Amino acid sequence: MRLIASLTSPYARKIRVLLHEKGLPFALIPDNPHEPANMVSQHNPLGKVPALIADDGRAWFDSPVIAEYLETLAAAPYFLPADRLAAVEVKQVEALADGITDAGVLVLLEARRPAAQQSEAWRARHWGKVEHGLAALDTAIAGRDWFVGSGMTLADIAVGCMWGWLNFRFPQADLASRYPALAAWGAMLLARPAFVQTQPPA
């Protein structure tokens, strides 16, 4: 398998972590989707990373779909519960984590616009989504080891990648002091080898 990914993308990191946790061999192809001559657009019409080229040549995108595809392979451990309702719970947490990241990306891109073109109302609106989402996750993980069930699932991997990315991109926000349960849990998760191996470059 080949994974086309940006090394700083939390969506791509989610898939890289899954591949490492499952012990599945893959070739990592770094790509910048913002460059005109990017590779990912050849496999994902939306031009977004990640995209996975399976051994049969079929392309899968984006990260939630790739994650489900990897679960179809005979490679334990599995990170979506067999129970269908529990699997939906996992996907909801993943959706929340990805939605927080989506909002964070919009804030980051707004800050890169010329100062005269930036909108504080836009920034505040989308950063508010980040804060509300983090508050919900902080409450959900307090006193627990995992978001759904008694073991690590895709929900935890998605939240871990989101949490790592936010702290990487917005260190000035001091999120750990305001979301202590999430911060303590995140420190534990990000110490796992699969997360250590996929840290974004400084």
pLDDT of residue 68 exceeding 90: yes
Nearest-angstrom CA–CA distance, 46 and 181:
36
Count of positions (residues) in the chain: 202
Provide the pLDDT for residue 75. Answer: 85
Provide the pLDDT for residue 186. Answer: 98
Domains of the chain: 2-72 (3.40.30.10), 84-197 (1.20.1050.10)
Q: Which of 85, 188, 113 is nearest to 146 (CA)?
A: 188
Q: Where does the pLDDT of residue 181 fall: very low under 50, low under 70, confident under 90, or very high at 90 and above?
A: very high
Q: Where does the pLDDT of residue 13 fall: very low under 50, low under 70, confident under 90, or very high at 90 and above?
A: very high
Segments of 13-170 assigned E as strands: 27-30, 51-53, 59-60
pLDDT of residue 33 exceeding 90: yes
Q: Which of 57, 72, 90, 61 is nearest to 24 (CA)?
A: 72
Q: Tell me the mean pLDDT in the region 55-60.
A: 98
Amino acid letter for position 104: G
Tens digit of each residue's pLDDT (9 = 90 or more) over 75-89: 899 999 999 999 999
Nearest-angstrom CA–CA distance, 134 and 119:
23
In degrees, to the nearest 5, what angle opens at C-alpha 77 toward C-alphas 73 and 81? Answer: 85
Beta bridge partners of 53: 2, 59
Q: Tell me the mean pLDDT in the region 100-117.
A: 97
- Residue 148, by phi and psi: left (phi above 0), alpha (psi -120 to 50) or beta? beta
pLDDT of residue 93 exceeding 90: yes
Provide the pLDDT for residue 74. Answer: 83
Q: Tell me the mean pLDDT in the region 22-43.
A: 96
Q: What is the pTM of this model?
A: 0.97
Q: Where does the pLDDT of residue 202 fall: very low under 50, low under 70, confident under 90, or very high at 90 and above?
A: confident
Q: Where does the pLDDT of residue 56 fall: very low under 50, low under 70, confident under 90, or very high at 90 and above?
A: very high
